[in-house]
């Protein structure tokens, strides 16, 4: 299980990556059951970005894959995507910008970001996860 200290470490690593890009972002860390562990919004990040980061992280945790993968799956199924979003009370966010966090092949949570492009958000998350000693894949 992802600890609070690990979540804070992921947030710090994500902020470092975001600073290097010069893009203020928000970040959210979820446990593998979709519960928020930690969230932060950098100065200058859009006010809504914290909520968006949380939705992306929830989606990555729910499926154990980057949220971009859910976007690819849902693009040809917009009605189904809308239904899933409704069924999850708005939590399902099939947009690029979050990655799962694995430790020793075990899904322990997810890290999501918002504030840049979807690809920038996902790149920041991937780099933060790896620099924190975790992996974005089970294998």
Taking only the tens place, the pLDDT of each residue in 95-136 is 999 999 999 999 999 999 999 999 999 999 999 999 999 999
Write down the domain spans for the chain: 4-131
Q: What is the CA radius of gyration of the chain?
A: 13
Residue-wise pLDDT for 33-70, tens only, equals 999 999 999 999 999 999 999 999 999 999 999 999 99
Pick the CATH number of 4-131 from 3.30.830.10, 3.30.530.20, 3.30.450.150, 3.80.10.10: 3.30.450.150
Residue 117 CA to residue 52 CA, distance in Å, equals 12
pLDDT value of position 68: 93
User: pLDDT band for position 23 (50/70/90)?
Assistant: very high
Token duo for residue 5: 């200290």
């Amino acid at each position: 299980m992802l600890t609070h200290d690990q979540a804070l470490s992921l947030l710090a690593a994500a902020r470092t990556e975001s600073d290097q890009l010069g893009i203020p972002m928000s970040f959210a860390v979820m446990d593998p059951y979709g519960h928020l562990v930690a969230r932060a919004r950098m100065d200058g990040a859009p006010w809504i970005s914290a909520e968006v980061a949380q939705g992306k992280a929830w989606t990555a945790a729910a499926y154990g894959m980057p949220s971009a993968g859910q976007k690819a799956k849902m693009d040809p199924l917009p009605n189904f995507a809308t239904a899933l979003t409704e069924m999850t009370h708005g939590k399902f966010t099939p947009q690029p910008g979050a990655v799962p966090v694995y430790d020793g092949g075990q899904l322990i949570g997810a890290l999501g970001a918002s504030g840049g492009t979807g690809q920038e958000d996902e790149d920041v998350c991937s780099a933060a996860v790896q620099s924190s000693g975790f992996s974005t894949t089970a294998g």
